[in-house]
Structure 1
């Protein structure tokens, strides 16, 4: 099996590179500087030269607030870029593994009350910001392309590479005595190492369709911050506040929990608890 990883220098792509280095497979990793997936001709040239059996697409526009100011760029990468990849994969019988987000759902408090176990994979989508709309455009392009695909949604992504909430909290916790963290947005973190492991099992078992990859549990960002400082033994006071205290260009969902029931039913797949995932990540960051 020959694998191509796009977006290989990002948070998720870097995790894939480290993971595949430990597997007995041939793979190539390309960063966004190496490969412009929004360029139709460049897509065909690169894919034609490398001839992968599986394409793992980690390339994405992820600047949630900035997307409100530059929607064309967000849609070019998250929508049209995925359409380019999916079209080529459909023509050449290449399996496309693509990552999306909880932001494709409406994220209302009412949904949180009706869906205590989180959004199932087939729940109707209805994004509330440009970033979510652009990611949904990519999902639709993938499904309409006719290619063999795995669509993996993640939420609150955290890992040892790139920037994320855990790293930000650790940095601020060492700089300040008091932090304010929102307590009215609920979900559960996805840890990159676990997400990659789960996704790899889906690939090896030749699964297709949509899967949610996250952790077990339901928490607020405030809960998450407190546990980070507890496990890292950082002394800082965390004050719970409403989202209204933080001005942001993009509206944030109040409810982001993804149901992991479907992936939990896959042979050999282990959905870890969020506290265990955090413990593993902090251990990696300390090595």
Structure 2
């Protein structure tokens, strides 16, 4: 009997990748977008999960509009905190393992050392606070969980930084990109594959899962153009040059301690992941 996996946010950038990776691995996959299961509707969540009785729930549905969250805090908390609670509670009732996709935005970015899974959290904006509230609900209401924090995600589905750069690279000869924010780019295929490996275990807990190594957005953009053979001049600028409603962590580099100590396969370097993505894209 193949295992049943239920995926929320199945129409999203990571959700679509999870549907593909788990389907190819022989799982019985049930993917739900907001149109078929609204996670803020507790009764609906209960009906759907109780009907399917999945072995695993991958919760990737989220409110991700970082800037808009500042003016819509209730909407962000409704989806990221209470929506997560709704899914976690029913997943616990049916005995499913639970994966919650979280973010580097739970940190304030003032550290000079990479953040490990036990580093104190201190989100700057509404988005990070609402995702952290989701983490807390998972801890409170579920017994077999993996909280997966990731960062700077890109892949073949949805809109993301890499696709934006490729599009702009076709249109312009010169671009300014922020050079004073440093983090870890993450290829969705690598992330989904790591989650697949993780859920096969009972090594529950918090994990930082991103490609290894780190860079600034400026360095990331330069690598994208170099690997794509696009002749674009990239100019460094500061965060202050492009004011946005929500503050971003200036340094959100991950230390992958949980992956190491739990003997999970380490993620390849971000440059390798990027090269691999660009070849297929």
What's the TM-score, normalizing by structure 2?
0.97
Partner of 1:50 in structure 2?
52
Could you say which residue in structure 1 is the equivalent of 2:136? 140
Q: Does 1:272 align with 2:268?
A: yes
Question: 2:252 corresponds to which residue?
Answer: 256
Deviation for aligned residue 1:272:
0.4
The residue that corresponds to 1:281 in the other structure is: 277
CA distance in 2, matches of 1:146, 1:77: 18
Query: 8 Å contact 1:89–1:147 — kept in the other structure?
Result: no
Shift of 1:88: 1.4
The number of equivalent residue pairs is 279
Structure 1 residue 91, shift from structure 2 partner: 2.3
Q: Structure 1 residue 17: deviation in Å?
A: 1.1
C-alpha deviation, 1:265, in angstroms: 4.2
Q: Any idea what SS the aligned residue of 2:224 has?
A: helix
* RMSD across aligned positions (CA): 1.1
Residue 196 (structure 1) aligns with: 192
Aligned equivalent of 1:66, options 68, 75, 78: 68
After TM superposition, list the pairs within 5 Å mapping 1:208-219 onto structure 2: 208-219=204-215
Secondary structure of residue in 2 paired with 1:16: helix
TM-score, normalised to structure 1, is 0.95
In the alignment, the residues of structure 2 paired with residue 107 and residue 201 of structure 1 have an alpha-carbon distance, to the nearest angstrom, of 29
Q: Does 1:102 pair with 2:104?
A: yes
Secondary structure of 1:21's partner? Answer: helix
Question: Deviations for 1:58-88, whole angstroms, at most 9, x for unmatched residues?
Answer: 1011100011111111111100001111111
Unmatched tracts of structure 2, length 5 or more: none
Q: How many Å separate the matches in 2 of 1:282 and 1:219?
A: 18
Give deviations 1:202-249, integer Å, cap 9, x for gaps. 111222111110111121000000000000000111100110010201
